[in-house]
Amino acid sequence: MQNKGTYQAPKGTEDLYGERAQAWELLQQVAARVFSRYGYRPLYTPIFEATELFTRAVGKATEVVNKEMYSFKDRKGRNLTLRPENTAGVVRAAIEQNLLGEGGSAKLYYAGPMFRYEKPQKGRQRQFYQLGAEALGVTLPEADAEMILMLWEYLCELTLPQQHLQLLVNSMGCPQCRPLYRKELAKYLRAHAEELCADCQERIKTNPLRTFDCKRPSCCKVLAGAPKIIDALCPDCAEHQKRVERLLNDAGLIYRIDPTLVRGLDYYTRTVFEVQVVDGMGAQNALGGGGRYDGLFEELGGKSTPSIGFALGFERVMLALEAANIRLPFEKGAQVFVAATEDALREEAFALVRELRDAGLPALCDLQGKSLKAQFKAADRSGAALVVIVGPDELDDGYVRVRDMQSKEERLIERSRAAARLSAELR
């Protein structure tokens, strides 16, 4: 039996290796490609921040802050938290580093681990990987439409079939209209309190909109009849929402207005959206989502800076790709393996490997002192298409032998032109 060692990765975390690790790299490369077309630049912020940043930004009466944060004190007694999401960190950095500059706006994206103390299950981990984009200092509905279109384009570029996905859109209103709606909703929920679970009964007092996040059938039934925020928007929010819808329609995007979409964090205003996988992923069907957060900069001590962003989970993207039976197009591994027939020729083999790599070909040679037979086995395992055999007689005549690993055919090529010829053949 395989020795598993003394220590295991903590519950809810995973080691990324093999194709999964390659997938992570690819998901980030595609993001860099797509997002840069929209003018986004990368931003790296710390993995831990002051706890206060998240309680202020995400909201005290949210699941994330109440139950899920990995908070700790450092040796000087400072209260710190492993980031449960990254919008708060991006906004903090934008204020602290003056990232908005004179133009008053910035487009930034990030990818990295987030941490939430949740019950681990398929598509739900305690350390998970999010990719996100934030457009800061943008007021127009065009910014909302552009953000949604960029997320959609990213998913299309990963070749996720559109029929597997659905896009939901809603508006959360603003500080003018939402408080009135909250009151109206709370009144309705109080009238149905005995049909709600204990958590939702509590939410009537603390944060009635959060009841829409509850998955219990009895609560969902009550909420199906609840007043809808989209019907309670003030004229400005309603106009904003209509224009977002028009822009999405003009772009040919298919989406559904979902009046129950409220998302789990308190900072959202106006447009919120989510991309879900239609089936095959159970309850964790949200690939990603986001929304506008027009008040967050001020909440965190900055100037008024209307903004919008989204975040998407890599683990969920992988599940969606699996459900749709899609394999990501990974770069091939080594294409050429150079084998030496005897120890005296290892340096010659090493020189040829360098030449092949200089010519742009992924190439390998043995680094373990293996026999020729074992080198062939290693070449096979590496997936190389060709093995170049460096042997004394051929080399004396100025040649090396090339073996095609698939057809098993062998031929001689000139040593001095080997790298140029093979790179021309294989590319």
For ligand AMP, give the closer residue by CB, 55 or 335: 55
What residues from 95 to 134 belong to the interface with ligand AMP (CB under 6 A)?
116, 118, 123-125, 128, 130
Buried-state track 25-34, b at ≥16 Cβ within 10 A, e below 16: ebbbebbeeb
Cα distance between residue 297 and residue 300, in whole Å: 5
Q: In the stretch 34-73, what mask flags binding to ligand AMP with x, by CB under 6 A?
A: ----------------------------------------
Residue 381 near residue 393 (C-beta atoms within 8 A): no
Nearer to ligand AMP, 124 or 182 (CB): 124
Q: Is 199 in the site for ligand AMP (CB under 6 A)?
A: no
For the record, the structure tokens of 159 come out as: 């070749």
Contact predicate 422/386, CB 8 Å: yes
Torsion of CA 39, 41, 47, 48, to 10 degrees: -80
- What would the two tokens of residue 28 be? 């980030």
Rule CB under 6 A: choose which of 89, 208, 289, 309 binds ligand AMP: 289
CA-CA distance, 42 to 110, in Å (whole number)?
6
129 versus 399: smaller Cβ distance to ligand AMP: 129
Q: Is 91 in the site for ligand AMP (CB under 6 A)?
A: no
Taking Cα atoms as reference points, which of 404, 307, 256 lies closest to residue 108? 307
Asked if 312 is part of the footprint of ligand AMP (rule: CB under 6 A), the reply reads yes
Q: Which stretch binds ligand AMP (CB under 6 A): 47-55, 103-111, 187-195, 307-315?
A: 307-315
Shortest CB 120 distance to ligand AMP, Å: 8
Minimum CB distance to ligand AMP smaller for 313 or for 418 = 313
Listed residue (41, 65, 67) closest to 53, CA to CA: 65
Residue nearest to ligand AMP (CB): 313
Near ligand AMP in 353-392, by CB under 6 A:
none
What's the rounded Cα separation, in Å, for the pair 293 and 255? 21
Q: How far is it, in rounded angstroms, from Cα 210 to Cα 197?
A: 13
- The site string for ligand AMP over 7-26 (x = CB under 6 A, - otherwise) reads --------------------
Length of the chain: 427
Alpha-carbon distance of 256 to 251, in angstroms, equals 15
* Nearest distance, CB of residue 239 and ligand AMP, angstroms: 26
CB atoms within 10 A of CB 110: 22
CB of residue 130 to ligand AMP, shortest distance in Å: 5
State yes or no: residue 313 binds ligand AMP (CB under 6 A).
yes
94, 100 in Cβ contact below 8 A? yes
| The binder of ligand AMP chosen from 53, 158, 196, 286 (CB under 6 A) | 286
Query: For residues 246-265, which are near ligand AMP according to CB under 6 A?
Result: 263-264
Note the residues at the interface with ligand AMP (CB under 6 A): 85, 116, 118, 123-125, 128, 130, 263-264, 286-289, 311-313, 315-316
